[in-house]
Structure 1
């Protein structure tokens, strides 16, 4: 993990924990636990955990997911996160994803700290406002099915359906169906947007168990 992102993550988790504590004291009495569930674990092959406050929670199929969870996967692990009613995020091995915020069928923000992810919402769902932050740049989700993560020595983004706005290194590009783009290193701008061949599409999908 990049040092600057580690500091960023620690501060974000500290703030989220404080807010959760305030909300719990205001909304719940009698020792009841404040539930902040935004979804659950679907498929799980291997070992995954959620860093939740000061706890490392072992995940299994059906485990609840909460705002502020840092989901981490082990080697040779694939985990599927079912968020809201119809949003799915898959993580490949050695991945870390912070669920920063999520409002069902409306908006959400996530920090992809490392590893590969695959995002999917049904084509007939209303457009939602989703932001993915990474050390390489920001992804504004305007579509419903895309990959983001390491591939062939770079950070790669591929859109199967819909559109994703990629902002990195002071430049912004928009990817449509079939488009892919490389970001060679943190702070660098995106390279040229190109249509990907089936071979590379198969590579990145295999990294998230598809």
Structure 2
């Protein structure tokens, strides 16, 4: 399986300049440190209030973080050295996001369920409305669900996670066994994006 830079870089290279009529899908609500936004052939510094469109690629630098709001109350927090490509997204319907690095996805359970797939270099995460962490944890890429449920898919195998469940995604291997995470690992995961569980 390609690494996250190959996945994101290949998709970003295919991006076209933003059409004048392109819909705004969200915006940056917090930027701490340095973050960039790539659109078409250009890069700019990501600032609070910057609109996000389909095809945008957000990158955070070392010791940096960014909080993004997609349409109605869907929050994505990126930790240091993270990347998010909004490949396609429709409000309250779903879409496909590509990530690399630490991220917390948070969509209130009171909102309609969405059909959203989050793609990583290690596998895919099927989201139905939840709060979860995805990123490096204890030396491996992992997913932890705080609220709601997700499906984690890799190498033809699927694991279903509910509240308190975590799973490791070793490179080039199926997801590990689903286990309940302990408090220290949960705190460390959320701290990597500047949040508390």
Please report the TM-score for the alignment, with normalisation by the length of structure 1: 0.87
Report the CA distance between 1:43 and its aligned residue. Answer: 1.3
Task: Give unpaired runs (5+ residues) of structure 2.
Answer: none
Report the CA distance between 1:151 and its aligned residue. Answer: 1.0
For 2:140 and 2:43, the matched residues in 1 are separated by: 30
Please report the TM-score for the alignment, with normalisation by the length of structure 2: 0.92
Moved over 4 A (4+): 2-8
Instruction: Give matches, 1:85-100, under 5 Å.
Output: 85-100=72-87
For 2:22 and 2:129, the matched residues in 1 are separated by: 30
Report the CA distance between 1:123 and its aligned residue. Answer: 1.6
Name 2:177's counterpart in structure 1.
192
For 2:70 and 2:154, the matched residues in 1 are separated by: 27
Higher relative contact order (CA 8 A, sep 6+): 2
Name 2:38's counterpart in structure 1.
51
SS where residue 17 of structure 1 aligns? coil
Greater fraction helix: 1
Report the CA distance between 1:9 and its aligned residue. Answer: 3.8
**Alpha-carbon distance change, 11 to 190 in structure 1, aligned in 2, over 3 angstroms:** closer
Name 1:17's counterpart in structure 2.
16
**Alpha-carbon distance change, 156 to 6 in structure 1, aligned in 2, over 3 angstroms:** closer
Report the CA distance between 1:191 and its aligned residue. Answer: 1.1
For 2:126 and 2:80, the matched residues in 1 are separated by: 24
Name 1:29's counterpart in structure 2.
none
**Alpha-carbon distance change, 77 to 11 in structure 1, aligned in 2, over 3 angstroms:** closer
Aligned counterpart for 1:203 among listed residues 178, 188, 194? 188
**Alpha-carbon distance change, 168 to 3 in structure 1, aligned in 2, over 3 angstroms:** closer
**Alpha-carbon distance change, 171 to 43 in structure 1, aligned in 2, over 3 angstroms:** same
Instruction: Give matches, 1:1-210, under 5 Å.
Output: 6=5, 8-17=7-16, 24=19, 33-112=20-99, 114-185=100-171, 187-210=172-195
